[in-house]
């Protein structure tokens, strides 16, 4: 039986699989800094060729290349594996226990930027396919790898890629692997993503910074931008932009039932957030309903005037803020962009410039738990967690290209996580655990067989 043979090969090649992941993690690939991107893409393509994949190619985009590969399966069914080889910037470097590109192995942990997000996750699928090939067998289903290089900057070219390569991408189901377990030791099983619109607001009021004594008669750019931001959101956390909540798809009873069945204690979120206190009044299922299904508007950063040590009495000439809007189903990023601009003009802030970062934005995406690809992956995950079902999230608080999968390709999909609980994604010290990585390989080996068999 090919499943048993593939699992045997994976067990025999554990050391080699760990070494291969370390080699991959040692390749810098920061899209936001254009650091090592082409070299990392070429490294990945060469590895696909080395393990026996077909039709391996680097497909150029307006940004960084997409790495594509394919392995024909024993059946007519096919699955698409999505991942991204770009990673977050590693700074501040001094906060890392080991250099971010060292892939240092210590006490069962591999420390590296991208260890969990997303190299160490999607590589589980690469090694699962390799296990079948090393066993002298084709995988049970055809596997197509679709690995982009711009997820961490908003996937600005992925929609166009999906349209241009629609025929190749079409398949019976799609899987993603990203992130880590919840703090209670269960992994997650995700069926939706929020959308994302990232904005930069800026204003200039004077030709240069001035002595702050001039404040009675000269405008302060920092206050100007603060007032503009305050006009868009109230103390009760409600966004005040007219029409912001229009057309939002209601939460279904099936989605609420899923949340209730998960029975996640509030403390799990506190642990995952590093001890950050939760907002007052939110608890139980309503807490998670808000987390998964509420759109947000967040100030991510603010820059104006003097921020160095000590004091400097200065009246800032310019101010800049970065903010993100997380969208839920029914919201359109370009519609919200227009509404933000109209709001600023209507409230007397026509001098505030607004531009988008990371492309035109992504809508939210959602898929169905009943889809065979989701059920087959759920079976494999539950087995590898010794019968303990994962936390099934009908959507997640984070964003990604889910709308491309659901709306453009119209492929059912499911996402799971093979990283550890406190993986420190996007933070200094990101790491994965060898045991979890190897479990991920076994999970995908099983999934490929179950997906072929699922009626």
CA 451, CA 447: separation in Å to the nearest integer?
Answer: 6
- Domain 194-248+295-362 in this protein, CATH class: alpha beta
Write down the pLDDT at residue 399: 87
Where do we find the tokens 């912001």? Answer: 244
DSSP string, 310-360: S---EE-SEEEEEEEEEE-TT--HHHHHHHHHHHHHHTT-TT-EEEEEEEE
Helix, coil or strand: residue 414: strand
Write down the pLDDT at residue 435: 98
Q: Which residues contact 204 (CB under 8 A, 6 or more apart)?
A: 221, 317, 318
Structural contact between residues 239 and 245, judged by C-beta atoms closer than 8 angstroms: yes
Structural contact between residues 403 and 163, judged by C-beta atoms closer than 8 angstroms: no
Structural contact between residues 83 and 124, judged by C-beta atoms closer than 8 angstroms: no
Q: Three-state SS string across 261-309, please?
A: HHCCCHHHHHHHCCCCCCCCCCCHHHHHHHHHHCCEEEEEEEEECCCCC
Kindly report, residue by residue over 238-281, the tens digit of the pLDDT: 999 999 999 999 998 888 999 999 998 888 888 878 788 888 78
The values of phi and psi at residue 301, to 5°, are -170, 155
Q: Which residues does the chain have with pLDDT short of 50?
A: none
CA 428, CA 433: separation in Å to the nearest integer?
Answer: 16
Where do the domains of the chain lie? 2-191+367-453, 194-248+295-362
Give 2-191+367-453's CATH code, choosing from 3.40.630.10, 3.40.50.300, 3.40.190.10, 3.40.640.10: 3.40.630.10
Kindly report, residue by residue over 175-216, the tens digit of the pLDDT: 999 999 988 889 999 999 999 999 999 999 999 999 999 999
Structural contact between residues 297 and 334, judged by C-beta atoms closer than 8 angstroms: no
CA 81, CA 383: separation in Å to the nearest integer?
Answer: 21
CA 219, CA 319: separation in Å to the nearest integer?
Answer: 12
CA 249, CA 329: separation in Å to the nearest integer?
Answer: 6
Write down the pLDDT at residue 183: 80
| pTM, 2 dp | 0.85
Query: At CA 275, angle to CA 186 and CA 401, rounded to 5?
Result: 55
């Amino acid at each position: 039986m090919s499943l048993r043979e593939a699992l045997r090969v994976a067990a025999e090649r554990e050391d080699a699989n760990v070494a291969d992941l370390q080699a991959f993690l040692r390749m810098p690939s920061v899209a936001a800094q254009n650091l090592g991107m082409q070299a990392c893409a070429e490294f990945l393509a060469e590895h696909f060729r080395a393990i026996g994949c077909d039709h391996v190619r680097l497909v150029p985009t307006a940004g960084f290349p997409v790495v594509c590969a394919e392995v024909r399966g024993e059946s007519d069914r096919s699955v698409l594996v999505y991942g991204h080889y770009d990673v977050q910037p590693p700074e501040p470097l001094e906060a890392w226990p080991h250099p971010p590109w060292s892939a240092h192995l210590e006490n069962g942990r591999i420390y590296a930027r991208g260890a969990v997000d997303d190299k160490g996750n999607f590589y589980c699928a690469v090694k699962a396919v390799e296990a079948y090939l090393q066993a002298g067998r084709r995988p049970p289903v055809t596997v197509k790898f679709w690995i982009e290089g711009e997820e961490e900057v908003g996937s600005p070219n992925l929609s166009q890629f999906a349209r241009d390569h629609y025929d190749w991408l079409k398949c019976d189901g799609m899987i993603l692997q990203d992130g880590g377990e919840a703090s209670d030791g269960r992994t997650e099983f995700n069926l939706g993503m929020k959308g994302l619109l990232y904005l930069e607001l800026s204003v200039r009021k004077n030709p240069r910074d001035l002595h702050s004594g001039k404040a009675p008669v000269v405008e302060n750019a920092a206050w100007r931008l603060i007032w503009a931001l305050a006009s868009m959101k109230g103390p009760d956390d409600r966004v005040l932009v007219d029409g912001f909540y229009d057309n939002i798809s209601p939460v279904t009873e099936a989605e609420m039932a899923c949340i209730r069945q998960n029975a996640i204690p509030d403390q799990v979120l506190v642990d995952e957030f590093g001890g950050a206190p939760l907002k007052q009044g939110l608890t139980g299922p309503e807490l998670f309903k808000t987390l998964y299904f509420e759109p947000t508007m967040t100030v991510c950063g603010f820059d104006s005037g003097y921020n160095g040590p000590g004091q400097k009495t200065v009246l800032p000439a310019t101010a800049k803020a970065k903010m993100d809007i997380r969208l839920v189903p029914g919201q359109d990023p370009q519609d919200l962009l227009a509404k933000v601009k109209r709001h600023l003009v209507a409230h007397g802030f026509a001098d505030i410039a607004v531009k988008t970062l990371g492309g035109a934005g992504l809508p939210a995406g959602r898929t169905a738990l009943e889809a065979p690809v989701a059920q087959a992956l759920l079976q494999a995950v539950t087995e590898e967690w010794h019968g303990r079902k994962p936390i099934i999230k009908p959507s997640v608080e984070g964003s990604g290209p889910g709308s491309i999968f659901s709306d453009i390709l119209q492929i059912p999909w499911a996402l799971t996580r093979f990283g550890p609980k406190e993986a420190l994604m996007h933070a200094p010290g990101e790491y994965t655990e060898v045991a979890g990585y190897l479990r991920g390989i076994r999970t995908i080996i099983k999934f490929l067989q179950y997906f072929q068999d699922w009626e």
